[in-house]
Structure 1
Amino acid sequence: MYIGENIRYLRIKHGYSQEELAKALGYKSYTTITKWESGVSEPTLKMTNQIATFFKVSVNELCYTRMGFELSNSPKYRQGVVINVLGRVAAGIPINAVEEIIDTEEITEEMARTGEFFGLQIHGDSMEPKISDGDVVIVRQQDDAESGEIVIALVNGDEATCKRLKKYADGIMLISNNPKYEPMVFTEKEIVEKPVKIIGRVVELRAKF
């Protein structure tokens, strides 16, 4: 069956986020939609009928027709590689933990071949004006980066933060774009003891509209 793939196709085609579709179908959490689209689980027969009615397709089409297949060569609908968008990243929680997934994004196959990627929704205004609250950044998983690059870092076991990295001979500085936030400075000793851990480099911005 193609039900998970078709739910995702119809959701994107009609402009719904996973959270919006979940609410429309009577769910409090988007994680159910995530599980359907990723193939972890399937909707009940009753819910399958509800989804088909919602998108104005037949149950047979929803389950057994690979929707969008005929459009696979169209630039508008060409499928890239799907990555998960996380609402947060925190110490002790695996990247792509289902409970943290809020949506999905697509990256090109060319990009996907260069490493492992995830999306992260930005919270707060520390990286404004370039990156705003609610924007999604595409992150390549890596434990180091060059000075001047924007990284996602875990500091002292807290949630991940998005900052520009600046390296020095005896430590690093994590800098906000927004001048009202003071830079975070760490010595080599503090990097180990707190700890400060880089988990990825921002490679692309998907701004909200």
Structure 2
Amino acid sequence: MNSLEVAKRIEKIAEEKGISGAELARRMGTDRSTITRYYKGDRKISMDEIPKFAEVLEVDVIELLLGYDVKNVSLLSERKIAIPVLGPIACGDPILAKENIESYIYKPADSLPSGDIFALQAKGDSMEPSIPNGAIVLLRAQPEVENGEIAAVLVNGDEEATLKRVRKENGFIWLVPDNPKHELKQISEDYPARIIGKAISYEMIL
């Protein structure tokens, strides 16, 4: 993403809509000098700010990122949803807090199930061959999954999210890797864990 090009698109759209720099700053919850620095290229716009700018300006995120007016371009006519990709989990913060969001990916709205959708990047080979190392996994936020489904699970004091298959047997819950080289873990007082989402699909990002 070229931050300056995005800033110039934001400036142009704001001018066309009669939104001054001061008013844009107010709507964004920042100060006028920050907006000026964006426009001049002295400060980069981060990926997690793009959906907010799009909401404030009432345009699609694709228009800000690529310069296309998706209402008039048939190939980009599908409404896109910004899906947060979580990085390290900030202790004590809600799972989708800004501090936990590393980047965004964009998917057509009609390709997604209902509910809050987020993503994680698989790290390591514990879920191979089902989920390759490095894959971006889409998940629907939910506190439970059915027996045998793959879930995102918070471990390590709610600071680390891991992907594991959930097995329920005789009142016990096990976190099971698909790769037999890794050991399974039983959720217990000694190994507390909390399900935060169900895996929907994955894709490899080149």
Q: Is the 8 A contact 1:148 1:165 kept in 2?
A: yes
| Distance of aligned partners of 1:72 and 1:147 in 2 relative to their CA distance in 1, 3 Å threshold | farther
Q: Which residue in 1 is equivalent to 2:46?
A: 33
Cα offset for 1:111?
Answer: 5.3
Letter of the aligned partner of 2:133 in structure 1? D
Which sections of structure 2, spanning at least 5 residues, go unmatched?
A: 1-5, 11-40, 55-62
Aligned match of 2:144: 144
Aligned residue among 195, 204, 207 for 2:204: 207
Once residues 151 and 5 of structure 1 are traced to their aligned partners in structure 2, the CA distance between those partners, rounded to angstroms, is: 41
**1:12-23 superposed matches below 5 A:** none
How much does 1:66 deviate?
6.1
Supply the distance in 1 between the matched residues of 2:72 and 2:134 (Cα, whole angstroms). 30
In 2: Cα distance, 1:102 partner to 1:156 partner: 19
Where 1:94 maps in the other structure, the secondary structure is: coil
Q: Over residues 75-110 of structure 1, what are the superposed CA-to-partner deviations in whole Å (9 max), with x where a residue is unaligned?
A: 6x6332221111233542322332332221233424
Once the two structures are overlaid, the 10-residue window that deviates more, 141-150 or 80-89, is 80-89
> Quick one: distance in 1 between partners of 2:164 and 2:127?
7
Q: Which residue of 2 aligns with 1:133?
A: 133
Report if the CA contact (8 A) 2:90-2:100 is conserved. Answer: no
Q: Which runs of 5+ in 1 are unaligned?
A: 8-24, 42-60
Alignment CA distance shift 1:117-1:5 (3 Å): farther
Match of 2:37 in 1: none
Deviations 1:161-190 (A, max 9, x none): 10001111221111111111011123xxx2
Q: Residues 113, 133 of structure 1: CA spacing in aligned structure 2 closer, same or farther, 3 A cutoff?
A: closer
Same amino acid, percent of matched pairs: 33
Query: Cα deviations across residues 14-49 of structure 1 (Å, max 9, x unaligned)?
Result: xxxxxxxxxxx998xx9x4224412369xxxxxxxx
Paired residue for 1:89?
89
Report what 1:44 is aligned to: none
What amino acid is aligned across from residue 96 of structure 1 in structure 2? L
Question: How far apart are residue 71 of structure 1 and its match?
Answer: 4.8
Amino acid at match of 1:162: L
Distance 1:184 1:97, change over 3 A: same
Q: Secondary structure at the match of 2:99?
A: helix
Aligned to 1:137, the other structure's residue is in SS state strand
SS at match of 1:160: strand
User: How high is the TM-score relative to the length of structure 2?
Assistant: 0.64
Deviation string, structure 1 residues 96-129 (Cα, Å, up to 9, x no partner): 3323322212334245561111111122221122
Match of 1:161, as an amino acid?
A: T
Q: Does structure 1 retain, via aligned residues, the 8 Å contact 2:122–2:132?
A: yes
| Residues 123 and 134 in structure 1, CA contact (< 8 A), matched pair in contact too | yes
- Change beyond 3 A, Cα 1:166–1:26: farther
RMSD: 3.6
One-letter code of the match for 2:50? E
Q: Please tell me whether residue 163 in structure 1 is matched to residue 196 in structure 2.
A: no
3-state SS, counterpart of residue 88 of structure 1: coil
Q: Which residue of 2 aligns with 1:73?
A: 74
Q: What letter is aligned with 2:85?
A: V
Count residues in correspondence: 163
